[in-house]
Amino acid sequence: MTSIGTGYDLSNSVFSPDGRNFQVEYAVKAVENGGTAIGIRCKDGVVLALEKLVTSRLLKKDANKRIATVDRNIGVVHSGLLPDGRHFVSRARDEAQSWRGTYKAPIPVSSLANRMGSYVQAFTLYSSVRPFGITAIVGGWDAETDVDVDGAVGSGPKVGAGGKTKGVKEGGPYLYMIEPSGLYWGYYGAATGKGRQAAKAELEKLKLDPKDGECISLEEGVKEAARIIYVAHEDSKDKDFELEMTWISAVNGPTKGRHEEVPKALKEEAERLAKAALEGEDEDEEKMEK
Amino acid sequence: MFRNNYDNDSVTFSPQGRIFQVEYAQEAVKQGSVVVGIVSKTHAVLAALKRNAEELSSYQRKIIPIDTHYGIALAGLASDARVLSNFMKQQSLSSRLTYDRPILLSDITSRIGDRAQTNTQSYGKRPYGVGLLIAGVDAKGPHLFEFQPSGVTQEMVACGIGARSQMARTYLERNLDSFEDSSREELIKHALRALKDSLSQDKELTVDNTSLGVSGVDEPFKLYEGQEISSWLETTFENRPEGQDGDSMAVDS
Amino acid sequence: MNHFPQAWGRPRDDVYGQYNPSYLPQSHGGTQQPITHTQSPIVTGTSVIAIKFKTGVVIAADNLASYGSLARFTDVHRLKHFNRKSVVGVGGDVSDMQYLDRLLKSLDVEENYSTGSHTAEESETDPAMMGANNLHTYLSKVMYKRRSDFNPLWNALLVAGLDEKNKPFLASADLLGTTFSGPTMATGFGAHLAQPIMRRIVPDEAASQQLGREEAVQAVRDCMKVLFYRDARSMPEYSIAVIDEKGVELKEKEVLENQSWDFADKIRGYGTQTV
């Protein structure tokens, strides 16, 4: 940050002589202080997980949910300034609703990511606004089965003109991460927030790329997500935290293509394993030292 | 004139990713007199310390009933609170009119949160200079929410905001475990004691400077002021057995 | 000076020439047609009927969408499942029904923003879930707003289910924004043909609190049969839903059984009869 104080970092939408937009970079700093958020794209679904730092003992436990539902099949987790995250979510919901209004069908995750990328980018263009102080991870499942258009009555012709094409298969799990600049990529595993470095290192160890053969299942993904959040929390051990996890499975999977919170039993199991894995690591380290 | 170059407006991030204007707005909350809120399994209670500008003037309004099932307590700029409370009243009525159901407290809280957020992201606007405690009972039971000028909203078991509210929060944290199963009367006493703890030494809670908002399952939100609260003040502070909570009360009488 | 009212406030013809009234409606000498909205439904569904019983509500409607007197679509589902507490039955214009269905779907999505990031088990018992009464209030406001805009949704609706306190709830709303409720309800021809039969079984609220689920279902099935006998815009395939504490049980491919057309033996003058 050599250019701090030169005046090029005082207003949004202004380039510095070396071609940087400092206000966007500062917005990224706001994200880097937030709790770790991750998303994992598994074979048969998507997991979203969040390290929720407990800032006060007076907070109600297990309330204050931060992973939001945007459409039935899409969830968003974000790290950074909380109110900016809610602004993002509320816009995403509007986009999803307006898509349904136009196309009478749910918005594909890729289209939502695209629209939200454009929206976030627009907040880097003008000096009258500031960029979003969040990085958002958008995960969802595009239905692979034939979906009726909204409001359909009856089933239409079974064969012939207007009938259904056999064997057509599309849809599946999708995961995108949108940054304060408006930049977004599709991911197999995405991480942001304070512990993103550790989380990324762990994500890279997982089998997530379909090109490398079978990638991990949704249930494995849930357990890995819990473990990664616990690992990422290690460095900032000072504060207490709550783990929040949601998932979206295939239409024939456990959530029936919907974005839901991970069931209590499974989450507790995942947390137990995560803690055990951490303790195991510590023991290993101790052994090494000996 | 300014502390640094990054605190002129609410659309500029500092190099650390902070927005100073928003942080300054939070300071305005600390200028207001203290308010406290607590929930139990069955009740939600607000308690507030009212100030008067001068000896002969009236006391400010600190607790505003919004709908029959909930109300708010404010600390900071009262006029900003009026804008927000009017908005909350409209939204609450519209829920009753359109769906014939009382609005959920989580819903109304996030709506004012979203409104406050827009003030922190565009030039020419300023953040609200008020913090709110929103307490009441909805279909999901009793709730207490805290609202901050930044747009952050959080559901709490107990909370205190405003001048010297740290002392109230210390009291609340110390008694945190007893709130859930408290009766209505016990909860009110806890709220009054927490409020009392953040008073400066030369001040006392009186029927003139204290207000209470109480709501419960099957009990609509009601504001209690003046003589209505005298018996609560008496039973909470006068006839307390020796030794109980002695440390916090030793300074006054 | 021209004293005719249509000339008031207008430029004088003798100074500015003939006034061009073409933008005015016909009633004022212009050529504009008045704005008109739906004057009649196009593709329509017929009656919806429902009965409240001890612990819930039964509701039914057949699967036909008629185009005038033509039986145009025969697999149209007119009972809309909203959540585990409510079902909406729709009669009248089918495209307006589709609009309402989309409205319901987006309302459901919105409702689940707050409860959505909950586990499936939690949302089963969500105390803040919309009851059928809340849904009915909402729909009646929609219908009333549209009629006040002179642009009505050409439907008659029955909202059936459980209210916030899990008590059986049944009420109607129609294209005029009028609402009604009662232990038995019917729209369209059902109001004339089925309602008397249902009222014989359930004359009042007290009677419906005595009525069992099986009896209620049977009464509705009997009524559907009578409606098919006498309503020329009906068909023998129908949907039926039962809503109670266990949730919604919706069947969309029921067929009338044990039909007997004996009563029509003496009816002459219709169809292909020659004698």
Chains contacting chain A through 3 or more C-beta pairs under 8 A: B, C
Of B115, B122, B110, B166, give the one whose Cα is nearest residue B21: B122
pLDDT at A282: 65
Q: Which of B100, B138, B140 sits opposite C137 (nearest CB)?
A: B100
Region of poorest pLDDT, from A114-128, A196-210, A253-267, B1-15: B1-15
Q: Which of C94, C106, C116 sits opposite A259 (nearest CB)?
A: C116
Task: Using CA coordinates, name the residue in chain C closest to B100.
Answer: C134
Question: What are the pLDDT digits (tens) for A211-253?
Answer: 888 889 999 999 999 999 999 998 776 679 999 999 999 888 9
Residues of chain B found within 8 Å of residue C137, distances taken between Cβ atoms: 98-100
Distance from CA of B45 to the nearest CA of A (A): 15
pLDDT at A112: 98
Exposure string of B159-168, with b = 16+ CB inside 10 Å and e = fewer, is: bbbbbebebb
Does A185 score more than 90 pLDDT? Answer: yes
Integer Cα distance of C23 and C29 in angstroms: 9
Q: Is C260 helix (H, G, I), strand (E, B) or coil?
A: coil
Comparison of pLDDT for A123 and C268, the residue scoring more: A123
Q: Does C38 touch chain B (CB under 8 A)?
A: no
pLDDT at C6: 67
Residues of chain B found within 8 Å of residue A33, distances taken between Cβ atoms: 17
Task: Using CA coordinates, name the residue in chain A closest to B36.
Answer: A58
Take residue B1 and report the two structure tokens written for it: 């004139």
Contact assessment for residue C155 and residue C174, using Cβ atoms and an 8 Å cutoff: yes
Integer Cα distance of B224 and B212 in angstroms: 5
Integer Cα distance of C60 and C50 in angstroms: 6
pLDDT at C33: 85
Instruction: Name B191's Cβ contacts closer than 8 Å, sequence gap at least 6.
Output: B36, B37, B38, B45, B46, B47, B212
Does B116 score more than 90 pLDDT? Answer: yes
Which ipTM did the prediction report? 0.90
Q: Does B178 touch chain A (CB under 8 A)?
A: no
Q: Does C115 touch chain B (CB under 8 A)?
A: no
Q: Which of A69, A93, A263 sits opposite C117 (nearest CB)?
A: A69
| C113/A93 CB distance under 8 A | yes
- Burial class for B138, CB neighbours closer than 10 Å (0-12, 13-18, 19+): buried
pLDDT at A31: 96
Q: Is C181 helix (H, G, I), strand (E, B) or coil?
A: strand
Task: Using CA coordinates, name the residue in chain B closest to A130.
Answer: B11
Residues of chain A found within 8 Å of residue B17, distances taken between Cβ atoms: 26-33, 133
Of C210, C180, C230, give the one whose Cα is nearest residue C50: C180
Instruction: Name C104's Cβ contacts closer than 8 Å, sequence gap at least 6.
Output: C80, C82, C88
Over residues A110-132, the mean pLDDT reads 97
Positions of C marked catalytic: 38
Q: Does C127 touch chain B (CB under 8 A)?
A: yes
Question: What are the pLDDT digits (tens) for B163-209?
Answer: 999 999 999 999 999 999 999 999 999 999 999 999 988 889 999 99
- Burial class for A18, CB neighbours closer than 10 Å (0-12, 13-18, 19+): exposed
Residues of chain A found within 8 Å of residue B151, distances taken between Cβ atoms: 82-83, 86
Q: Does A259 touch chain C (CB under 8 A)?
A: yes
pLDDT at A146: 62
Contact assessment for residue A109 and residue A137, using Cβ atoms and an 8 Å cutoff: no
Local structure of residue C20 (DSSP, 8 states): -
Integer Cα distance of A23 and A1 in angstroms: 12
Integer Cα distance of B153 and B26 in angstroms: 13
pLDDT at A163: 46
pLDDT at B105: 97
Over residues B53-68, the mean pLDDT reads 92
Q: Kindly list the averaged pLDDT for each block of 10 residues, start to end, along chain C of length 275.
A: 72 85 83 85 97 98 96 95 96 96 94 67 77 98 96 97 96 97 97 97 96 97 96 97 96 95 76 64
Integer Cα distance of A174 and A106 in angstroms: 14
Take residue B36 and report the two structure tokens written for it: 């406290």
Going from the C-alpha of B169 to that of each of B52, B64, B181, B222, C192, the distances in angstroms are 24, 22, 19, 24, 67
Instruction: Name A280's Cβ contacts closer than 8 Å, sequence gap at least 6.
Output: none
pLDDT at B253: 36
Q: What percent of chain B has pLDDT over 90?
A: 87
pTM of the model: 0.90
Does A1 score more than 70 pLDDT? Answer: no
Residues of chain A found within 8 Å of residue B117, distances taken between Cβ atoms: 83-84, 86-87
Q: How many other CB atoms are found less than 10 A from the CB of residue A250?
A: 20
Which residue in the block uniquely carries the two structure tokens 């009906």? C234
| B99/C137 CB distance under 8 A | yes
- Residue B250's pLDDT band (cuts 50, 70, 90): very low
Q: What percent of chain B has pLDDT over 70?
A: 93
Question: What are the pLDDT digits (tens) for A251-279?
Answer: 889 999 999 999 999 999 999 999 999 98
Residues of chain C found within 8 Å of residue B100, distances taken between Cβ atoms: 133-134, 137
Take residue A181 and report the two structure tokens written for it: 């600049």
Q: Is B212 helix (H, G, I), strand (E, B) or coil?
A: strand
Q: Give the long-range contacts of residues B237-246, CB within 8 A, separation 24 or more.
A: B237/B192, B237/B196, B237/B205, B245/B193
Nearest-5° angle of CA A144, CA A148, CA A154?
A: 140
Over residues A74-88, the mean pLDDT reads 97
In whole angstroms, how large is the CA radius of gyration of chain A?
21
Residues of chain C found within 8 Å of residue B145, distances taken between Cβ atoms: none
Task: Using CA coordinates, name the residue in chain C closest to A77.
Answer: C117
Between the two ends of chain A, the Cα-to-Cα distance in Å is 43
Q: Which of A68, A154, A258 sits opposite C77 (nearest CB)?
A: A154
Nearest-5° angle of CA C8, CA C14, CA C20?
A: 60
pLDDT at C122: 63
Contact assessment for residue A163 and residue A184, using Cβ atoms and an 8 Å cutoff: no
pLDDT at B9: 92
Distance from CA of B98 to the nearest CA of A (A): 20
Does B246 score more than 60 pLDDT? Answer: no
Take residue C52 and report the two structure tokens written for it: 């409240």
Of B60, B28, B31, give the one whose Cα is nearest residue B126: B28
Which residue in the block uniquely carries the two structure tokens 């002129």? B8
Task: Using CA coordinates, name the residue in chain C closest to B141.
Answer: C127
Local structure of residue B149 (DSSP, 8 states): T
Local structure of residue A249 (DSSP, 8 states): E
pLDDT at C46: 98
Does A36 score more than 70 pLDDT? Answer: yes
Take residue C21 and report the two structure tokens written for it: 């009234």
pLDDT at A144: 74
Question: What are the pLDDT digits (tens) for B74-83?
Answer: 999 999 999 9
pLDDT at B232: 96
Integer Cα distance of A198 and A49 in angstroms: 15
Q: Does A78 touch chain C (CB under 8 A)?
A: no
Task: Give the CA dihedral C176, C177, C183, C186, nearest 10 degrees.
Answer: 30
Q: Does B159 touch chain A (CB under 8 A)?
A: yes
Going from the C-alpha of C13 to that of each of C2, C18, C29, the distances in angstroms are 9, 5, 15
Integer Cα distance of C247 and C231 in angstroms: 31
Instruction: Name C169's Cβ contacts closer than 8 Å, sequence gap at least 6.
Output: C52, C57, C86, C131, C132, C133, C136, C159, C160, C161, C162, C163, C181
Chains contacting chain C through 3 or more C-beta pairs under 8 A: A, B
Q: Is B133 helix (H, G, I), strand (E, B) or coil?
A: strand
